[in-house]
Structures are given as structure tokens and as C-alpha cells.
Amino acid sequence: MNTPLVSVICLCYNQKDYVGAAIRSVLTQTYRNIELIVVDDASSDGSQEVIKEELIGTNVQFIELEENIGNCAAFNKGYAASKGEYLIDLAADDLLLPFRIEIGLGDFMKASTKTGVHFSDAFMINVDGSTMNTFYERSEDGQLINTPPSGDIFQQLIEKYFICPPTMMFKREVLDRLNGYDEHLSYEDFDFWIRSSREFEYIFNPAPLVKKRDVPKSLGKTQFSIRSKHFQTTYQVCDKALDLCQSASEISALIDRCKYEIKQCVKTLNLSLIAKYRNLIKDAQRRLSSLSSMDM
């Protein structure tokens, strides 16, 4: 049986109450050929001591950064140190269910060779670990009400967010092609989705394979707050997306996405980005006109 090495990079920043459980969720996987790398991005809450205590008696690599460099750059430190054929980016407040890696590898083995990213449903848990619901809405009998798309989903990812980030498992080839996360950005998900989905297919498993913790001050919670710096990253990704669009429908989807983001900028007082989005829409419309004239 093929047993490729899977690297799990657990990134911690001020998550001492949760990082121990995150580490244990990796060490207790049913699949055994795993390389765990823990990166602490200069936590100030004592997370480092918790990590060191948790790793006693293991061969887990611990990268302890002396200064905070941000999520994307900190992850890239772990990525550079890793050797796995497959990778998982695990936030220190989330948990892998015991069979997450085994199921993911099984799905990859049955999938098209073009498949680069695997994602799934997740149990949403609160700060004390109690399950609240699942990420995707389900009926009373537990069935998914709407199944997210698989395959070539570049256009769908432009249109809206629908992937639960901590559920992702991806081939090393994907991140190698992207040269890691873009360290100029404040968050990585949207950029990773847009750039990777242009070249690789995605596959979805409906089972909840991780537990995503709902933490009040997490990145996901602050991402859409008033004057959040993350709105600049969203604009930068939309700007990148225009160069990746290959059809009229994809460009039209990007125009609609820019219009949506302008509304969000108004709501959150990120007013300086509105003119940039309007210029991006004009560029996209010119590209759309050019494609239309070629089809005549």
C-alpha cells in the first residue's frame, strides 16, 4: 500500500488554551506516516511553554519565531522545513478528526491526477469544544442541503467563499507551483483558492473531517471588521484574478465580485479601496469587450 508522507504545519499565535489539543489531534491520526511541524509566531501568552510540554517525548519539529511575522510568512517557514508529498495547514485552535488524513489520502488516490486540493465539511465548535453545528447546512436527517462544487471551480471561487479553510489538504505540487503563500497578504485563503484552482481541480468529501473552533478574536472574526487591513488583501487577490480569467463568464463573475466588495468597503469604512475596485471593474470590462469582439 502506498503510504506517502503527509506534513501537517500547525501555526500558533497566542492560542495557548487550544494548541495542545491541536497537536494531539495530529499525533492520534489513524494514518501514521505524518510529519508534524509546529510554528509559533512569537506568541505573547505563553503558548511556547505549552507547545514544548506537549512535544516532550516526540520527534516533532518546533519552530519558535522571535518576532511576529504574520500568518503567511510564518506558515512558509514550516512549509520550507517540511518534506511531505501532501500538506495540511492547521490553525492551533482547530482540530483534525482522527481519520481526516486517512480519508483524504483515500480520496486523492481515487481522484483525477489533476486534483490538487481536498476539502470537506467541518464540525463548528465553541471555545470549550462543544459542537454547535456543521459548516455546511444540513437537513434534519443530516443530509447536505447544498453540496459544494468539485473539479474546476475557479469561477465559483471568484463568485463567493464556500470552502471551510481548515478542512483543506493539498498536494505539495500545488504549493510549490504557487511558491508558497504570498507574504505580502494579510490572509492566505482567498489567494490560495484563486491561484491554485486555475491549475488544479478540487475534490469535496461531505463528511466533517475537522473541528473548526469559533473563537471571538480569531482571524476569521476580525477579517470583516471596520477598517480591517484584510480588505486590502481581498482587493489584491481580485486584481490578480483578472489576469487569470480565461473566459467571458469568469470576467463577468469577477465584475460582480468587485461590485459586492465595494458594498462591503462602504459598510466597513474601507473607502480608499472603492476607487481601486472601480478601476479594476473598468479594466475587466475592457477585457470583456475585447473577448466579445474576438468572438464576432
Q: What is the DSSP string of 12-66?
A: ESS-TTTHHHHHHHHHT-S---EEEEEEE---SSSHHHHHHHHTTTS--EEEE-S
What pLDDT digit, counting tens, does each position of 109-140 carry?
999 999 999 999 999 999 999 999 999 999 99
CATH number at residue 204: 3.90.550.10
How confident is the model at residue 228, as a pLDDT?
Answer: 78
Q: Judge if 210 and 240 occupy the same domain.
A: no
- Largest Cα separation within the chain, whole Å, is 68
Angle subtended by helix axes 19-27 and 47-54, to nearest 10: 30
Position 87 in a domain: yes
Position 1 in a domain: no
What pLDDT digit, counting tens, does each position of 164-214 carry?
999 999 999 999 999 999 999 999 999 999 999 999 999 999 999 999 999
Residues belonging to the chain: 296
User: Is the pLDDT reported for residue 216 higher than 90?
Assistant: no
Position 225 in a domain: no
Q: Which of these, 182, 194, 196, 188, lies nearest to 116 by C-alpha position?
A: 196
Kindly tell me the burial class for residue 78, based on how many C-beta atoms sit within 10 Å of its own C-beta (0-12, 13-18, 19 or more): buried
Rounded Cα distance, 102 and 168, in Å: 13
Q: Judge if 49 and 166 occupy the same domain.
A: yes
- 3-state SS, residue 250: helix
Q: Judge if 17 and 152 occupy the same domain.
A: yes
Q: 163-191 burial, b if ≥16 CB within 10 A, otherwise e?
A: bbbbbbbbbbebbeebebbbeebbbbbbb
Position 27 in a domain: yes
Q: Judge if 60 and 128 occupy the same domain.
A: yes
Q: Judge if 12 and 142 occupy the same domain.
A: yes
Rounded Cα distance, 111 and 230, in Å: 34
Position 224 in a domain: no
Distance of CA 170 to the CA centre of its chain: 10
- Give the confidence band of 226 by pLDDT, cuts at 50, 70, 90: low
Rounded Cα distance, 71 and 218, in Å: 12
In this structure, what are the phi and psi dihedrals at residue 32, rounded to the nearest 5 degrees?
-105, -25
Considering only 1-5, 39-43, 58-62, 277-281, which range has the smallest mean pLDDT? 1-5
Position 223 in a domain: no
Q: Judge if 130 and 270 occupy the same domain.
A: no
Position 121 in a domain: yes
- Among 177, 193, 216, give the residue marking a domain's end: 216
Position 55 in a domain: yes
Q: Judge if 110 and 190 occupy the same domain.
A: yes
Average pLDDT, the chain: 94
Q: Judge if 92 and 119 occupy the same domain.
A: yes
Rounded Cα distance, 140 and 120, in Å: 19
Rounded Cα distance, 234 and 232, in Å: 5
How confident is the model at residue 296, as a pLDDT?
Answer: 46
Q: Judge if 159 and 268 occupy the same domain.
A: no
Q: Judge if 196 and 247 occupy the same domain.
A: no
Q: What is the mean pLDDT of residues 255-263?
A: 97
Q: Judge if 259 and 180 occupy the same domain.
A: no
Q: How many domains does the chain divide into? A: 2
- Among 216, 240, 261, give the residue marking a domain's end: 216
Q: Which of these, 19, 17, 57, lies nearest to 38 by C-alpha position?
A: 19
Q: Which residue range(s) make up the domain with 251? A: 230-295
- Among 216, 245, 263, give the residue marking a domain's end: 216
Q: Judge if 111 and 252 occupy the same domain.
A: no
How confident is the model at residue 74, as a pLDDT?
Answer: 97
